[in-house]
């Protein structure tokens, strides 16, 4: 149950703290006093989105805390799943900074809005005036019927299966799309692979290839040059012979001069070195062959590699090899698609069979409670002065897998005997819609362990005895569920175990919204004002006493 609400710096509220009790609490106050402001503040702690204009004072932050007694709700698994501290008195808090930043907390631990909403959905149900529009919402209608049928476990199982089924279906669709794309590109990939495999990329050293190619391309000029070097020793005038002659001359003179002896040694060394150069040049010349066919082969190979570099935007053979392997994998992948598609198709078929069974079980459960649901609704509507009303549940089974099964559920209604039933919002007046919604909420409260429910002017469009009967229905709900009723009707306000009064007050030239508990004469006076206006009469006071004691 909701046990406390703390609000500071929100709209017309400076700071208020209000404690709540079990049973039925009525909230009254003049139009514009701030009842909707308090409800809006509470909504922020339940995960609603923030409007930064709600700050009363832009120099400070807005803080709203709602405290819930959850000791009997068996919610420990939720706290464990979300790694939160479990406290029997749990506090949901929202903070809004002047810069518009919002933070959410559960027991002082920061949480996302999704986690906050998930927890609050287990704690409280807020019926605001716009919720009447849900009466024609298929999801709302099927949720009400499932609540009545106690289908929670079936729905959890179905939704888990649907999630797995949808994932497999998505995988299969993606795989088929990839397969089709690959088939469209496969011929091109094969052509590219053939080009890359035509050259033994792993056996080639690009540097050595270029060196050999350069050598072969210039072989004739090189051989001519090397032959010229070899000819230096071919005749008597060759350089080696000339050096030998110089050696002889200097040898004869060396006995007369030691410096000349050094010259002899240098001549000998030079002669040996030059002869060695000539011999090596002859060796190189012998190993160089004019091979036009080899030159053509290497030229073709070099040109092919350069063309591949240009085509695949690579700069080295290692990058070309990576590209070749990548394309090879794509070609091989095409062969494995059929196998993977067959495997996923079998999985999907099995999941679809299981899902159909679960959807059928859900449908049977709904159809099994259809008559009793309609009967209880018409009984409740008869109590609310609609004895001739007909309420029907239409269940249409489809082959589609929706988030709540394969059924399409719609509520139809007729307020008058002999008139055909139609969609609720097409045939019911505002007051009739309010009563239908209250009856639905009563059934949901009876079949779902929801600790708190708030009715925000659910009495719109009704008055007199009907309002009194609606108050009795809310009073009855409050026996098992904490009920808040925001109302302008004294017939409903008189049913409360607790009475909260929302009012405006002025302090130092500023207007504030505040709230207080009404008891005894203060409560009598407020009810009397609701009955007779601002002037409280004895008759109104007596009538107010009767409302409280009835």
Note whether 244 and 238 are within 8 A (CB). Answer: no
> Strand 405-414's sheet: what is its strand order?
390-402, 405-414, 422-423
81-120, pLDDT tens digit by residue?
999 999 999 999 999 988 888 999 999 999 999 999 999 9
8-27, pLDDT tens digit by residue?
999 889 899 999 999 999 99
pTM of the predicted protein model: 0.66
330-358, pLDDT tens digit by residue?
777 666 677 888 889 999 999 999 999 99
Note whether 244 and 237 are within 8 A (CB). Answer: no
What's residue 82's pLDDT?
Answer: 93
- Alpha-carbon distances, residue 304 vs 10, 187, 191, 195 (angstroms): 76, 21, 15, 9
The candidate with the shortest Cα–Cα distance to 54, out of 97, 3, 117, is 97
The candidate with the shortest Cα–Cα distance to 468, out of 415, 543, 374, 373, is 543
485 - beta bridge partners? 26, 455
Structural domains of the chain ordered from first start: 1-123+451-518 (3.40.50.300), 178-336 (no CATH)
Collapsed DSSP state (helix, strand, coil) of residue 401: strand
Q: Which of 65-79, 224-238, 448-462 has the lowest mean pLDDT?
A: 224-238
CA distance 494 to 459: 14
Q: Which long-range contacts (CB under 8 A, 24 or more apart) does 334-341 make?
A: 334/179, 334/182, 334/183, 334/186, 337/175, 337/178, 337/179, 337/182, 340/175, 341/172, 341/175, 341/176, 341/179
């Amino acid at each position: 149950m909701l046990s406390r609400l703390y609000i500071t710096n929100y709209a017309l509220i400076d700071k208020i703290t209000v404690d709540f009790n079990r049973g039925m609490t009525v909230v009254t106050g003049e139009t514009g006093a701030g009842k909707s402001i308090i409800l809006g503040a509470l909504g922020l702690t339940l995960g609603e989105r923030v409007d930064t204009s709600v700050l009363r004072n832009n120099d400070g932050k807005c803080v709203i805390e709602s405290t819930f007694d959850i000791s009997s709700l068996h919610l420990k698994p939720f706290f464990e799943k979300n790694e939160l501290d479990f406290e029997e008195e749990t506090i949901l808090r929202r903070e809004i900074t002047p810069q518009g930043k919002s933070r959410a907390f559960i027991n002082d631990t920061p949480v996302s809005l999704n986690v906050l909403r998930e927890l609050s959905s287990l704690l409280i149900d807020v019926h605001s005036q716009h919720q009447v529009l849900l009466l024609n919402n298929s999801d709302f209608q099927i949720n009400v019927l499932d609540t009545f049928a106690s289908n929670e476990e079936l729905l959890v199982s179905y939704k888990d299966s649907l999630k797995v089924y949808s994932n497999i279906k998505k995988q299969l669709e993606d795989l088929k799309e990839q397969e089709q794309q690959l088939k469209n590109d496969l011929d091109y990939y094969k052509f590219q692979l053939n080009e890359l495999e035509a050259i033994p990329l792993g056996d080639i050293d690009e540097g050595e290839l270029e060196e050999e190619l350069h050598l072969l391309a210039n072989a004739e000029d090189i051989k001519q040059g090397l032959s010229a070097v070899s000819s230096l020793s071919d005749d008597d005038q060759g350089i080696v012979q000339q050096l030998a002659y110089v050696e002889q001359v200097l040898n004869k003179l060396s006995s007369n001069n030691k410096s000349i002896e050094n010259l002899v040694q240098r001549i000998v060394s030079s002669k040996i070195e030059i002869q060695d150069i000539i011999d090596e040049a002859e060796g190189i010349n012998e190993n160089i062959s004019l091979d036009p066919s080899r030159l053509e082969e290497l030229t073709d190979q070099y040109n092919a590699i350069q063309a591949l570099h240009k085509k695949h935007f690579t700069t080295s053979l290692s990058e070309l090899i990576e590209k070749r392997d990548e394309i090879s994998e794509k070609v091989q992948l095409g062969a494995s698609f059929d196998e993977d598609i067959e495997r996923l198709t079998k999985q999907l078929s099995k999941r679809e069979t299981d899902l159909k069974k679960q959807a059928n079980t859900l449908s049977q459960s709904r159809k099994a409670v259809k008559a009793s649901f309609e009967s209880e609704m018409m009984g409740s509507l008869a109590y609310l002065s609609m004895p001739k009303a007909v309420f029907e549940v239409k269940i249409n089974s489809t082959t589609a897998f929706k988030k709540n099964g394969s059924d399409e559920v719609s509520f139809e209604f007729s307020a008058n005997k002999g008139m055909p039933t139609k969609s609720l919002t097409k045939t019911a007046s505002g007051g009739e819609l309010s009563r239908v919604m209250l009856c639905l909420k009563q059934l949901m409260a009876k079949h779902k362990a929801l600790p708190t429910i708030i009715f925000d002017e659910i009495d719109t469009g009704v008055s007199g005895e009907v309002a009194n009967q609606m108050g009795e229905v809310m009073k009855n709900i409050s026996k098992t569920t904490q009920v808040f009723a925001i109302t302008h009707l004294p017939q409903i306000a008189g049913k409360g175990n607790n009475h909260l009064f929302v009012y405006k007050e002025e302090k130092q030239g500023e207007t504030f919204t505040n709230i207080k508990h009404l008891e005894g004469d203060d409560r009598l006076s407020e009810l009397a004002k609701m009955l007779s206006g601002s002037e409280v009469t004895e008759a109104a006071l007596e009538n107010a006493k009767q409302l409280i004691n009835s």
